[in-house]
Structure 1
Amino acid sequence: MPTLVQTPARGSARQQPQAATVFPYDSGDLRRFRELQQLAYTCAERVGAWLEPGVTERQASARLGRELAAAGVQDFFHVHFAWFGDRTAFRHFHTPLQFFPSRRRLEEGMPYILDCAPVIDGYTADIGYAGRVGASPVWDRIDRDLREYRDLIVVEARRRTPFNEIYARVDALIARHGYDNRHRVYPGRVIGHQVTRTTARGPAGVSVLGFGIRTLQTLGREFLGERRYGRSPLWADGRASRHAPTPGLWAVEPHVAFRDVGLKFEELLVVTDDDAYWLDDDLPHVRRWQRAADTSSDIATDVATDVAVEAR
């Protein structure tokens, strides 16, 4: 619950509300959020394995919806998205309608991104799953670099670096890599947004402008509540994000691109009163990075062994 500073003496500055910094979830809540995030990634992986040249974004999005429904999902934070080719980099996106799945067909060598946000019993996940069909050296290079963004974000959140400054440091890393910032194309230029356990009672499975009815009801309450403290449930680079990370869960999605190849991950970041950590490390992109690191380590070991043998 919000708290107030002590009543000032007569003639001093007006009383200002201050938000209590109390983490709102217990271990049982975190387990439910984690299970739902795993479910969302599992469904996205199944669709990724099913994709092949000729499939359209709309077909991929519909398949993702069927996978989620079969897993018991009846509501969602936002509609399911699928982007192929240069649309993964949001090239020529100027209106919100351009984010919706199109008739773009997948081709050999194309990247793709699947994005879904299921809700079960009020618990919400919001994930981004990236892949490619066939070989793409550019995609592989971006994917290797993307791990640095995940590390950077959690380190800065632990330091209580203001949200807008973390955004700026991600921007600086993108520039050093020679990529483009594409999360700035999202509505509100967001790199993330707060996720809560919804308690709204609107109709489940019904969307308006891409967002579930219950999502809009919840977001409305969050905007009003956070505005009172000069904050926002959206994480961007503006004035409303000039504050230390707010305790709670944040869906974070650094999205970068090189020319027509876009890549991102999206997962839940836990921000407590004095710490921050990713909700789960057993995720497809994290496992992919670990396999690559293990392979590099094995190669380095083999080379060192060969050198030692030759030196005898």
Structure 2
Amino acid sequence: MSHKKVTGDTSSRAELDAFRELQQLAYQAAGDVAVTLEPGVTEREAARRIREHLEARGVQDWFHTPFAWFGDRTAFRNFRIPLQFFPTGRRLEEGMPFILDCAPVRDGYVADIGYSGYLGENPLHDRLMDDLRAHRGLIVEKVREGHTLQDVYRAVDALIREQGYDNRHRVYPGRVIAHQVGRVESRLPRAIVAGFGIRSLQTLFGDLLVERMHHRSPLWADGDISAHPATPGLWAVEPHIGFRDMGVKFEEILVVTPDDAYWLDEDLPHVRRWGTRSPVGVGTSEETATA
């Protein structure tokens, strides 16, 4: 197994373009499937549509197979074990929020995206999505300034509380808000185990061993294991906020170099959405509760 790290320098520009193209393809798949969703469709059916859409367009493997969460499951309420993350028979209803999440692998390149939406009308969801905009700016600013991942996580947490919401990425295994991605090269056969591609799992475990030798981690959480600045490379970042029984998030690649940090792509659905709307200030729980 080998995992080729991409650092965002000039020599890897073509590779960054390949990661960007796959990320665009993954978001396109989520968007195309989102417009096909109708009352009564299940999470499993939505996830299946995403998988078929991407495999028809050259995806050969998965970091993880597609997820879909409907209703209160978008906020991970009462999630206690990893099996609860997998798609279920929950059926979509009018006005219900949803999150579509997929992590395809094509020619060794990896993308991991999260797409938030709703069926019909949902003004509260719009408000949460507007407030999520501030997190994208905060994260890249803090990483660029050289803060530790632990401190950036805590800054995101503080902003979530200031907005009157609660942190839902803390429910993910390891409480992670992000993880490193790179080009996967492996001689193992392509196979899926518990929703994850074994080639990608091999890469992740290899990265864990290597990074721990340098007192770092490829997983970004709020514990002491993340008390170091972001390692140069690519990070799939997914701030996930919740209010009552609703959660929203985005997930996209952040490029970190030895002296800079930037989002890989400024032409993504949530970024385009924010570009068409007036900037909003930090919300309060009272304002949100009456939205």
TM-score (norm 1): 0.86
* 1:202 aligned onto 2:188: yes
Q: Any idea what SS the aligned residue of 2:253 has?
A: strand
The one of 124, 131, 139 equivalent to 1:145 is: 131
Residue 264 of structure 1: aligned partner: 249
Structure 1 gaps of 5+ residues are 1-20, 297-312
Shift of 1:22: 6.4
Residue 305 of structure 1: aligned partner: none
Residue 7 of structure 1: aligned partner: none
Q: Kindly indicate whether the alpha-carbon contact (under 8 Å) linking 1:23 and 1:273 is maintained by their aligned counterparts in 2.
A: no
Q: Which residues of 2 match residues 143-292 of structure 1 at below 5 A?
A: 143-204=129-190, 206-292=191-277
Residue 114 of structure 2: aligned partner: 128
Residue 35 of structure 1 aligns with an amino acid whose one-letter code is: E
Residue 44 of structure 1: aligned partner: 30
Shift of 1:134: 1.1
1:22–1:119 Cα change, 3 Å: closer
Residue 232 of structure 1 aligns with an amino acid whose one-letter code is: S
Question: CA–CA distance in 2 between the matches of 1:53 and 1:23?
Answer: 43
Question: CA–CA distance in 2 between the matches of 1:202 and 1:22?
Answer: 25
Question: CA–CA distance in 1 between the matches of 2:115 and 2:46?
Answer: 13
Residue 80 of structure 1: aligned partner: 66
Q: Identity of paired residues, percent? A: 62
Shift of 1:209: 2.0
CA distances 1:197-221 after superposition (whole Å, capped 9, x unpaired): 01112222x2112210101110111
State the structure with more CA Rg.
Answer: 1
Residue 97 of structure 2: aligned partner: 111
CA distances 1:219-249 after superposition (whole Å, capped 9, x unpaired): 1110110000111110001111000111000
Question: CA–CA distance in 1 between the matches of 2:235 and 2:241?
Answer: 19
Q: Which has the larger share of strand?
A: 2
Question: CA–CA distance in 1 between the matches of 2:187 and 2:107?
Answer: 11
Q: Kindly indicate whether the alpha-carbon contact (under 8 Å) linking 1:47 and 1:63 is maintained by their aligned counterparts in 2.
A: yes
CA distances 1:144-179 after superposition (whole Å, capped 9, x unpaired): 100000000000010011000000000000000110
Q: Kindly indicate whether the alpha-carbon contact (under 8 Å) linking 1:195 and 1:250 is maintained by their aligned counterparts in 2.
A: yes
Shift of 1:255: 0.3
1:23–1:284 Cα change, 3 Å: closer
Question: CA–CA distance in 2 between the matches of 1:251 and 1:56?
Answer: 27
Aligned length: 274
CA distances 1:243-284 after superposition (whole Å, capped 9, x unpaired): 011100000000011001110000000000100000001000
Q: Kindly indicate whether the alpha-carbon contact (under 8 Å) linking 1:194 and 1:248 is maintained by their aligned counterparts in 2.
A: yes
Question: CA–CA distance in 2 between the matches of 1:23 and 1:106?
Answer: 40
Structure 2 gaps of 5+ residues are 1-5, 281-291
Q: Kindly indicate whether the alpha-carbon contact (under 8 Å) linking 1:154 and 1:276 is maintained by their aligned counterparts in 2.
A: yes
Residue 287 of structure 1 aligns with an amino acid whose one-letter code is: R
Residue 288 of structure 2: aligned partner: none
Shift of 1:49: 0.6
CA distances 1:23-43 after superposition (whole Å, capped 9, x unpaired): 576101100000000000001
Q: Any idea what SS the aligned residue of 2:26 has?
A: helix
Question: CA–CA distance in 2 between the matches of 1:65 and 1:290?
Answer: 29
Q: Kindly indicate whether the alpha-carbon contact (under 8 Å) linking 1:44 and 1:64 is maintained by their aligned counterparts in 2.
A: yes
Residue 4 of structure 1: aligned partner: none
